[in-house]
Structure 1
Amino acid sequence: MLKFSRLCLLSQHERRAFSLNLDSEVTILHAGNGFGKSAILKSLYNAFGAEPHRIDSFWRSAHVETFLEFTVDGDIYAILAKNGRFVIFDGNGNLLIRTRSIGKELIAYLAKLLDFRLEMMNRQEEIITPPPDYIFAPFYIDQDGSWKQPWASFKGLHLANSKQTLADYHSGLKPNEYYSAQSRRNILQAQRKSLEGERHVLHQTLQSMRELISDVVLSFDIFDFQLESEQLLVESRKLHEYQIAYRQRLAEIAEERRLWLEQRDIVIATLTEMDENFAEALDRPNEVSCPTCGQHYSNLIADQFEILQDKDGLYAALITSQEKLHELEGAANSERKNIIALEEQIAQINHILSVRKDDLSFNDVIIAQGRNQAGRIIRNRIGVIDDRITATRRAEDVESAAMKVAVSPKKTREIKAFFKDRLFEFCDELSVRIDTTKNPSMTTMPFGRGSEGPRGIIAYYYAFLHTARHFSSSSFCPIVIDAPNQQGQDDMQKVMSFIVDKRPQGSQVIVATEDLFGVDDHNASIIHIGNQKNQLLDSNLFEEVSDIIRPYLGQLI
């Protein structure tokens, strides 16, 4: 578990500083609006290279050095950050890492330290460990975006499908074991694709050799001759199989074309007969007598129009038939081309197999020996590669099976049921209406308007954090909440009491608020922030904080 111990902020430019002890399980930063509470919380994450929203220009212009002491499972560490440079030390002040690269070196170190093994695809379709923002995403409720929707605390959550991936990972639905197996499988897949590419090049080389000296098949090595002949025969059989398949498809096309031709002919005959009937109807009077039985039949204009309507339908059927015949003719031509190409390849292989050695010149023998030697080397290499591809595929299957085990249906149901129970419980406690007939989503929740919305956010986050505390395989981080009094809550004392009392077991909670709402020194460490509005850093603390940071500054360069 990660816990923050002490935060120091130092501006050499302004010769001002700030220091804050965070040893308590619950810390309340108490100050009015504009006294720097949010700047303190954002600094906690800036120290790790994460990007909270809205860091104002005045703060940036102060060129603040951020020094944060923290513990991971009781082991002491410190991190110093300034202008994109980061250094991490152990509890004795020994340098562990120094880097300017957040996306590679820093995140790689933090991922190992905090057992964070999530992997995602970037825009270049590369598998990466996502930036530090993804480590802290469920633990920080900022005042700029989080009170409107979950998973919006950081600017750096830019990878595709981030919300779902974060919910799956931090809840334990897809734990470290899943991503470790996925990482190993991705490495194996990359290796296999490289081997398959090499095999393709070698196979193409053999093909080119046959085409360039197709008449030379002489070999003084009976094993080489037999091996090459067998390969040619195998290839010939495959080509024959393809040819049979193409001919079968061509036969199916021909049969379908015959049916459409019959339909077209029937339609044409029907149209011809209908034209004759219509012309005859025009010449007849309005009432026609049957010469056989004497029955009278009407020959009204409406009946004549019915004949025309039937004729329109037949024309549509004729057009469809013609279009289908055209389409089938194109498909047949395509299959004929495939058959011709295959016949050429088969003829070439048969020609190679049928050449008589008595017809070869001495020069042919020399050429053949060179080609055979090269072919032997290439075929041996292809055999080795085939064995490695087979072994790699088997290893991939093992890792895929491990991924399935890590996300078993039984465990998935258990985690979702746990989250659902906590969410319904917390919504009831905070008077948040929620449809209990539906299974809630772990990525977002539709909550009511006004003051009910922020209470719903708190209920959702705490339900998720309890789930993460119970099931997640990575380090649990401090819960940091900025400005919980949103939308004019009717009973903020109840909300604050919930935040303090319902926190996950053993977790650290840091809350920045303008009012205490009933929280006192008995259940939290209350720290009053700032002596002057818009001026968090204090010149009186400059020397004291400088003495703390100075031993580490030399390692920053």
Structure 2
Amino acid sequence: MRIFQFESISLLSHRDKKARKVSFHPHRNLIQGENHTGKSSLVKHLFVTLGAKPLGTLEQWDPQTVSAVRFKVDGESFTVIHHSGARSLHDSSGKLLKATDSPAAWAETFAALVGFKLMLTSKKTGQGVLADPSCFFLPFYIDQDGSWREKWDTFPATMQYAAPVRSILEYFSGIKPAEYYELKSEQSAISKEADARVSEMKLLERARGRLSQTLPVGTVKLSEAGFEDEIRRLTSEANELNGLQETLRAKYVREGEVVASINHQIQTAFASLREYAGDQKYLANIANANEIVCPTCGAEHEQSFLHYLGYAEDARILEELTRTLQRDLVTARRQLESTNEELRTLRGNYARINGILEQKRGDLRFQEVVESQGAQAAHRAFDAEREQIAGELADWNAKLAEIEARLDALTDKKRAKRIVAAFREAYQLARKSLNVPDPSGNPNLVSRPNRSGSGGPRLLLAYYAALWKVCHGEQLGMSIPVVIDSPNQQDQDDLNLHVVLGFIAESLPDSMQLIVCVTKHSDAQLDKTTVFDKKYSMLLPEYYDEVESDVEPLYRQMNAALLSLPTDEVKEEKPEADSDE
């Protein structure tokens, strides 16, 4: 069984000079504190750091806070650093394994690390894509902002996929293997290709029918007057293209200037960073670097030149600015290339029309034009196009038949029945333990309950507990931490709250790591309790030096890796030579 466990989380605010580090027991963890003491902020950052942003916002929080989450996968430790959308992955020795500010690239890195192979369909493209970390954690995190409701609102990012919840739950419960979802994604893409060929065939036949009505085979309807009208139309179209070409040229020049300006700013920032590196090296070589003697009064100071002169802080801000400029440079370059592509397409259309006009202005044999436009030639072209589309459609349909056969082989109805039966049995036992009556009908994995009153949250917890029971079974072979924030919903009375906490502490799978946040003291027996007792002050100044010494080297590695992306001076690109007309 593959085991994923949280080891610790560190939060560091350079702006406020505050920090916090919390370590986790591999089994049962309790985070206790009144409202606004930072419990939710802490657990939200567990998921934000790993690429899964929960619903809700953080009040009175430094948005530039650096977070570090240390976790184990099959006993091997890793650390992820997050800052302003950028993430880096490090091994147990601190070695940098990956740094990126691309969500898609991070999703691939995370999926490969934890063995997450679920493929879902993108709403935007209709293509199969690898599910991101929000899908990985969705069944295992009950967030007080989005999870205690009738819908799966924990992670808004899951809305980018088409009907993701059923696939996620069936994947983790083992009803369908990972290969099934990979094939379903491939099937969806192939079906779109086949449908596109069918649509092309229909359009082709419709156009052919109209041609037969207006221009029967053997009869050519083309007059000199009509030919002259076509010349005038093509001339007008060429003039319009000329105007559009001038507009695009001006746009290309402006965008080129933007690219050059951003690149100049990046080079200037790099020059400043090189000067800082030299100053830092010089100061580091001064004897007794941790103590400085004032040359005027002779007073001794404990802090270094770096701390007093603010060099480190200035360099950190400059690094962050440079990363932002690099992202802007990538965007500007893409826009420049897009405009250049438009110019290339425009030039192609211009050349085509100009060629036709040149031909018709020269020595023209009218009979040659009539033959090229004749109905027989048109019907022959329709036949050739139809034959090609029919062949492509046959190939796509053959691939679909092959995939459907493989999907049938992967669908084990007996296994699905066993898992659903185990879910219902666990659901019934959990409801009994939590003092909530049975819901009507036969619940299944996606039958998320919706009940008002104080019994609603307990029924939802029973549903989640049944899910966790089957998801931690032998089918999938994976153990993922469960985080609950907070079970005291709908103002549970002391008796029911005691029942809920006792159930959480004693009835969940033994192999599962648990992190639960509560506002009241509990007698439930858990392995580790962390208490937050200061409102709006989860980060504290007394932790700053310790956390900075742990996090800063990894944070620096991430910045260095992101800053080492190609930043060569951009050569001024010019549009390809146009015709004189």
TM-score range, shorter chain: 0.5 to 0.7
Give 1:477's aligned amino acid. I
**1:201 and 1:112, CA in 2 relative to 1: closer, same or farther beyond 3 A?**
farther
Note the C-alpha offset of 1:524: 0.9
Please state whether the residue corresponding to 1:119 is helix, strand or coil: strand
Alignment correspondent of 2:497 = 492
Give 2:52's aligned amino acid. A
Q: How does 1:248-263 map to 2 (within 5 A)?
A: none
Cα distance in 1 for residues equivalent to 2:48 and 2:134: 10
Note the C-alpha offset of 1:74: 2.8
Stretches of 4+ aligned residues off by more than 6 angstroms: 194-213, 371-385
Alignment correspondent of 2:185 = 183
In the alignment, is residue 440 of structure 1 matched against residue 443 of structure 2?
Answer: yes
Q: How does 1:103-118 map to 2 (within 5 A)?
A: 104-114=104-114, 115-118=116-119
**1:74 and 1:387, CA in 2 relative to 1: closer, same or farther beyond 3 A?**
farther
**1:459 and 1:388, CA in 2 relative to 1: closer, same or farther beyond 3 A?**
same
Which structure's CA Rg is the greater one? 1
Structure 1 vs Structure 2 CA RMSD? 3.8
Residues 433 and 448, structure 1, Cα contact 8 Å, conserved in 2? no
Note the C-alpha offset of 1:35: 1.7
Alignment correspondent of 2:524 = 519
Note the C-alpha offset of 1:63: 1.8
Note the C-alpha offset of 1:493: 3.3
Residues 143 and 482, structure 1, Cα contact 8 Å, conserved in 2? yes
Q: How does 1:43-442 map to 2 (within 5 A)?
A: 43-59=45-61, 61-102=62-103, 104-114=104-114, 115-122=116-123, 125-149=126-150, 151-159=152-160, 161-192=163-194, 215=218, 389-435=393-439, 438-442=441-445
1:523-543 Cα deviation digits (max 9, x unpaired)? 41122235x321011112112
Note the C-alpha offset of 1:111: 3.1
**Structure 2 unaligned spans of 5+:** 220-366, 563-581
Note the C-alpha offset of 1:448: 6.2
User: What TM-score do you get using the length of structure 2 for normalisation?
Assistant: 0.60
In the alignment, is residue 467 of structure 1 matched against residue 470 of structure 2?
Answer: yes
Further displaced range: 412-421 or 165-174 = 165-174
Note the C-alpha offset of 1:177: 2.5
Note the C-alpha offset of 1:88: 2.1
Alignment correspondent of 2:340 = none
Residues 9 and 17, structure 1, Cα contact 8 Å, conserved in 2? yes
Note the C-alpha offset of 1:476: 3.8
Alignment correspondent of 2:546 = 544
Cα distance in 2 for residues equivalent to 1:395 and 1:194: 15
**1:473 and 1:188, CA in 2 relative to 1: closer, same or farther beyond 3 A?**
farther
Residues 128 and 189, structure 2, Cα contact 8 Å, conserved in 1? no
Alignment correspondent of 2:346 = none
**1:202 and 1:457, CA in 2 relative to 1: closer, same or farther beyond 3 A?**
closer
Alignment correspondent of 1:328 = none
Residues 79 and 89, structure 2, Cα contact 8 Å, conserved in 1? yes
Cα distance in 2 for residues equivalent to 1:93 and 1:187: 41
Cα distance in 2 for residues equivalent to 1:414 and 1:550: 50
Residues 171 and 471, structure 1, Cα contact 8 Å, conserved in 2? no
**1:74 and 1:214, CA in 2 relative to 1: closer, same or farther beyond 3 A?**
farther
Q: Percent identity?
A: 23
Note the C-alpha offset of 1:421: 0.4
Alignment correspondent of 1:40 = 42
Note the C-alpha offset of 1:7: 0.8
Q: In the alignment, which of 14, 19, 38 is matched to residue 16 of structure 2?
A: 14
Cα distance in 2 for residues equivalent to 1:149 and 1:201: 45
Further displaced range: 113-122 or 184-193 = 184-193
Note the C-alpha offset of 1:94: 3.8
In the alignment, is residue 28 of structure 1 matched against residue 30 of structure 2?
Answer: yes
Give 2:121's aligned amino acid. M
Alignment correspondent of 2:331 = none
Note the C-alpha offset of 1:508: 0.7
Note the C-alpha offset of 1:66: 1.0
Note the C-alpha offset of 1:457: 1.9
In the alignment of these two chains, the number of paired residues is 406
**1:383 and 1:499, CA in 2 relative to 1: closer, same or farther beyond 3 A?**
same
Alignment correspondent of 1:504 = 509
Note the C-alpha offset of 1:6: 1.6
Give 1:109's aligned amino acid. T
Cα distance in 2 for residues equivalent to 1:204 and 1:46: 53
Give 2:465's aligned amino acid. Y
Give 1:392's aligned amino acid. W
